[in-house]
Structure 1
Amino acid sequence: MPRLGETMEEGVVVQWLVAEGAAYGRGDAILEIETDKTVAEVPALSEGRLLRILAQPGERLAVGAPIAEVEGEVESADPAPTNRAAVKDAPVVAAPTVTRSDDRLRATPLARRVARERGIRLDGLIGTGRRGRIERADVERAGAQNVSSGWIDTPKGRIALEVEGQQGQTILLIHGFAGDRTAWAATASTLRRSGNRVATFDLPGHGETEVEAPDMAVLSDAALIVADSLPGPLVIVGHSLGAAVAVALAEQLGSRISRLLLLTPAGCGSQIGAEFVHGMAQASTVGKIAHLLRFLGPKGGALSDAALTQMAKQMGRGRLLALAKAVASPEGRQKIDLLRQLAKLPETVPVRAAFGTEDRVVSANDAMNMPSRVAVHFLPTGHMPQWDAPRDVVDLILKG
């Protein structure tokens, strides 16, 4: 645990930005750490590889405590302020409101200075920092790596979108119910470093996207708008409810799809975790959110207090109430049928599906209902295999 300030004695791991087994370059952000005064990205001091994560998101550790095993050169974890592995120009958490004005956007002072120097508008970027904060790396990528970040305007409102990378295959990641594009942060980072173009967006009713979500059709329409803005062919990855969106999208795009990966897909069995679906749609308190997130698996309950507070504020707006009713009955009977949609896809589109054997939202037994054309994988995970088994998920995305 690095010391990020002279008075810092302990810190909380907010999230890992590099997956286990992934390589990183000098200066790449490895993880986010929260102290009593700041949330900062910790950069790599040299090239290396993250071998094993020892401290999970939400864990509070003393300065100098081991947080990971890496391959490559590291600076000694000396807790003394005069010899610390601190973040240079560590950002301070900005105001929580996101607006259209450059002056009121959540961005670090360093990101604002770099943007002014390079003539880059902040309102055209989506930040990868905590709760959408724009970091220096976001500005630099926009200027040097041709990152297209920001919004897609539609008659129903704006869709929040981020596209990273200039070349390689285009991979579109679609999050699940009650999530947002930040659920893919570590996965997207690994895929981008592997030389791919990666797109993530907030579905209607979720995150910063302004379009509301009364039914599944609106989600599919938004995904099609995003897909039409990307160069093909596309690798589409859908998680949970996002898997149903991915299949509907593949049905419309046809030959523009190179392959399809469904992670713990909804709609493949008669039942779904109603307590999670309807609970998240109705939740408005930190305690309720924390309880429900434990349904997702071991890392679901490891979010920091600040992250839980922000999520409770989002859920308290009631944006997902109608969508929850469109997805499942109060008893958990599924109202969407992914199997029928899968049967309509051309045989030329390779389809894989991964189920978590410890999933408490979507039963792994649903895999038995998949058509014979779908290659099924079982992972020792909960409902979020991209969190619990990141290396396996990246391999499935890249190697098919």
Structure 2
Amino acid sequence: MSALLTMPRLGETMEEGRIVGWLIAPGQAFKRGESILEVETDKTVAELPALADGVLAETLVAPGEMVSVGAPIARLAGGAAPAEASDTVVRTLAMPRLGETMDEGKVVGWLVEAGARFKRGDALLEIETDKTVAEYPALFDGRLVEVLVEPGATLDVGAPIARVEVSTASAKLEGFVDEAPDGLDAAEEVVPAPEPDAVAATPAPLAASPAPAPSGSGPVRATPIARRLAARRGLDVSTIAGTGRRGRVELRDVESHVGGAPAGSAAAGQGAIAFDRLVAKGALRGRALLLHGFAGDRTTFAGLSAALARVGFDVLVPDLPGHGETRAEAGRVADLSAPLGALLAAEDFAPTEIVAHSLGSLAAVALAEGLPGLKRLTLLAPAGLGLEIDTAFVAGMAARPSAGALRHLLRRLTAQPAPLSDAAVAALVAALGAGRLDGLAADAFGLGGQRVDIVEPLARLAKRIEVRVVVGLEDRIIPWRQVEALPSAVAIHLVAGAGHMPHWDRPAEVAALFERTAG
């Protein structure tokens, strides 16, 4: 039988999409998981993989055309017929594979509460892969019966993440497993991914590996933000070599073309600052600069940065000097903020909001005093409010820890379990093994505790901008009671059930602070 493939909704604000190109030809068969086409929205470019085997019988839309959400774009052969039954069954939903190279994913946060009903197309949760953070939409109506995985957990593709209630008809239509795998009850069947008759697709992560630039006279593959930046700087996007999948031009490629800095970085000081940039969904309500903490990198803000973009913020998230992929080093606390002004100028990014975690708060305060357009400063579990700190944690992270020691140290960061894969731990061990944090740790912390004080600078800042501090009541790195040193003009938010990473332990609660006050 044949079925229509319609333009999927890839985000809450998406109303239409542009067909960048078909990745298979009419008459060609495809397997579940193979990419069928690329679609460009006002926010991104995504590859859409098939969620069922089939044949592309006919394309109804040519590359370059804009199509409304829900409009037919192709005719497919090989769909499943709907069933007649209307009673419900409970199935176990598994971690989906959002791209060919994805082996595991991290649950950033659930967007539907247990017990709540959802419609086909509603975003169920956010998943972080090694390439991106993506909302995973429901491809059937149903109810979220039980969440099996808490935010922060990393699981292999195919691992159970939730139990959902769907109609018997939908279960058959969407390709649920008819018989449970060994070890599971029939009511707990693992469904790798739904398979609707229209073979609806979900966006694949954007790969970062270099690919040849596109050739010929076809449409140039480029993300919307890359196109806008190229236009603003008077560049022809077709002349820029793309490092994205299948030669797609991305933001980092435009920056590299302009400034000669490596892809994914901007020239700053004596090195280069690596960063991610997210574009606001809907109307622009502000620009947020996010600064991570000691021994972290920009990926620690993956969930919060996505949440900020959803409520209207353009977001810039750098790796601070001495951390992550940034080449610039930091032997002293002052080195953390020194290159950030150049980064903001190079990106033409004037922040209205700075959000900083732990040691990043020191850089945030130093930077904030010189930014006249800044409206608000939000510090998460900030350093610099008192003497006491877990010096064993600081010394351990700076001392090139083994994998076992690192796992023990990381457990002190959160109040909620946050398991890491062996690959993630190995990568962090390798990064810490370079010894880049030695000088910074010695300058910021000593045997007596913290060596930097931000209480007085915060008092000055609170006279002209909004300043707020968010701390977890189960913080084992920095005692939360250090907020008692803050002046009365600083707003204090105490988060129950959160440790030193409140944006990990209580992501929805922290994100809600920005949703209520954006604009």
Shared fold (TM-score, shorter chain, > 0.5): yes
- Mapped partners of 2:219, 2:133: distance in 1: 22
Does structure 2 retain, via aligned residues, the 8 Å contact 1:2–1:79? no
Letter in 1 for 2:460: K
Asked whether 1:85 is paired with 2:184, we answer no
Q: 2:385 aligns with which of 250, 264, 268?
A: 268
Paired residue secondary structure (1:204): coil
Q: Could you say which residue in structure 1 is the equivalent of 2:352?
A: 234
How many Å apart are 1:17 and its aligned residue? 4.0
Q: Could you say which residue in structure 1 is the equivalent of 2:361?
A: 243
Q: Could you say which residue in structure 2 is the equivalent of 1:199?
A: 316
- Mapped partners of 1:39, 1:91: distance in 2: 9
Q: Could you say which residue in structure 1 is the equivalent of 2:488?
A: 372
Letter in 2 for 1:395: A
Letter in 2 for 1:165: V
Q: 2:148 aligns with which of 49, 54, 57?
A: 54
- Mapped partners of 2:139, 2:121: distance in 1: 6
Q: What is the TM-score when the length of structure 2 is the normalising length?
A: 0.59
- Mapped partners of 1:199, 1:70: distance in 2: 39
Does structure 2 retain, via aligned residues, the 8 Å contact 1:298–1:382? yes
Q: Could you say which residue in structure 1 is the equivalent of 2:107?
A: 16
Asked whether 1:118 is paired with 2:234, we answer no
Cα separation, partners in 2 of 1:277 and 1:353, compared to 1, 3 Å: same
How many Å apart are 1:19 and its aligned residue? 5.2
Cα separation, partners in 2 of 1:112 and 1:31, compared to 1, 3 Å: farther
Does structure 2 retain, via aligned residues, the 8 Å contact 1:13–1:59? yes
Cα separation, partners in 2 of 1:349 and 1:27, compared to 1, 3 Å: closer
Paired residue secondary structure (1:296): coil
Does structure 1 retain, via aligned residues, the 8 Å contact 2:137–2:202? no
Does structure 1 retain, via aligned residues, the 8 Å contact 2:381–2:471? yes
Q: Could you say which residue in structure 1 is the equivalent of 2:376?
A: 259
RMSD of Structure 2 on Structure 1 (CA): 4.5
Does structure 1 retain, via aligned residues, the 8 Å contact 2:95–2:161? no
Q: Could you say which residue in structure 1 is the equivalent of 2:437?
A: 320
Q: 1:31 aligns with which of 115, 118, 127?
A: 127
How many Å apart are 1:355 and its aligned residue? 1.1
Asked whether 1:296 is paired with 2:413, we answer yes
Letter in 2 for 1:389: R
Cα separation, partners in 2 of 1:182 and 1:233, compared to 1, 3 Å: closer
Cα separation, partners in 2 of 1:347 and 1:379, compared to 1, 3 Å: same
Cα separation, partners in 2 of 1:29 and 1:160, compared to 1, 3 Å: farther
Cα separation, partners in 2 of 1:86 and 1:356, compared to 1, 3 Å: same
Cα separation, partners in 2 of 1:237 and 1:64, compared to 1, 3 Å: closer
Does structure 2 retain, via aligned residues, the 8 Å contact 1:266–1:362? yes
Asked whether 1:154 is paired with 2:278, we answer no
How many Å apart are 1:315 and its aligned residue? 0.3
Cα separation, partners in 2 of 1:215 and 1:137, compared to 1, 3 Å: farther
Which of the two has greater helix per residue? 1
Which of the two has greater strand per residue? 2
Does structure 1 retain, via aligned residues, the 8 Å contact 2:269–2:342? no
Structure 1's unaligned 5+ residue stretches are 6-10, 95-104, 125-133
Cα separation, partners in 2 of 1:31 and 1:92, compared to 1, 3 Å: closer
Paired residue secondary structure (1:173): strand
Cα separation, partners in 2 of 1:31 and 1:62, compared to 1, 3 Å: closer
Letter in 2 for 1:224: G
How many Å apart are 1:196 and its aligned residue? 1.8
How many Å apart are 1:223 and its aligned residue? 2.6
Cα separation, partners in 2 of 1:156 and 1:142, compared to 1, 3 Å: closer
How many Å apart are 1:92 and its aligned residue? 11
Cα separation, partners in 2 of 1:70 and 1:271, compared to 1, 3 Å: farther
How many Å apart are 1:180 and its aligned residue? 0.5
Paired residue secondary structure (1:199): strand
Paired residue secondary structure (2:338): helix
Asked whether 1:390 is paired with 2:481, we answer no
How big is each residue's C-alpha offset from its partner over 1:158-181, in whole Å with a ceiling of 9 and x where there is no partner?
Answer: 101222115331011111111111
Cα separation, partners in 2 of 1:279 and 1:3, compared to 1, 3 Å: closer
Cα separation, partners in 2 of 1:83 and 1:220, compared to 1, 3 Å: closer
Letter in 2 for 1:78: V
- Mapped partners of 1:58, 1:112: distance in 2: 37
Q: Could you say which residue in structure 2 is the equivalent of 1:101?
A: none
Letter in 2 for 1:236: I
How many Å apart are 1:258 and its aligned residue? 0.8
What pairs with 1:164-175 in structure 2 (closer than 5 Å)? 164-165=278-279, 167-175=284-292
Does structure 2 retain, via aligned residues, the 8 Å contact 1:159–1:203? yes
Cα separation, partners in 2 of 1:351 and 1:120, compared to 1, 3 Å: same
Does structure 1 retain, via aligned residues, the 8 Å contact 2:357–2:380? yes
Does structure 1 retain, via aligned residues, the 8 Å contact 2:94–2:157? no
- Mapped partners of 1:286, 1:257: distance in 2: 40
How big is each residue's C-alpha offset from its partner over 1:203-222, in whole Å with a ceiling of 9 and x where there is no partner?
Answer: 00000000001011111112
Q: 2:338 aligns with which of 213, 216, 221?
A: 221
Cα separation, partners in 2 of 1:50 and 1:162, compared to 1, 3 Å: farther
Asked whether 1:189 is paired with 2:306, we answer yes
Paired residue secondary structure (1:337): coil
Does structure 2 retain, via aligned residues, the 8 Å contact 1:272–1:332? no
Q: Could you say which residue in structure 2 is the equivalent of 1:340?
A: 456
State how many pairs are aligned.
363
Structure 2's unaligned 5+ residue stretches are 1-92, 182-189, 196-200, 227-242
Cα separation, partners in 2 of 1:79 and 1:204, compared to 1, 3 Å: farther
How many Å apart are 1:183 and its aligned residue? 0.5
Asked whether 1:65 is paired with 2:160, we answer yes
Cα separation, partners in 2 of 1:269 and 1:221, compared to 1, 3 Å: same
- Mapped partners of 2:247, 2:384: distance in 1: 36
Q: Could you say which residue in structure 2 is the equivalent of 1:353?
A: 469
Does structure 2 retain, via aligned residues, the 8 Å contact 1:179–1:206? yes
How many Å apart are 1:395 and its aligned residue? 1.9
Does structure 1 retain, via aligned residues, the 8 Å contact 2:296–2:323? yes
Does structure 2 retain, via aligned residues, the 8 Å contact 1:174–1:239? yes
How many Å apart are 1:357 and its aligned residue? 0.5
How many percent identity over aligned positions? 31
Which protein is bigger by CA-based radius of gyration? 2
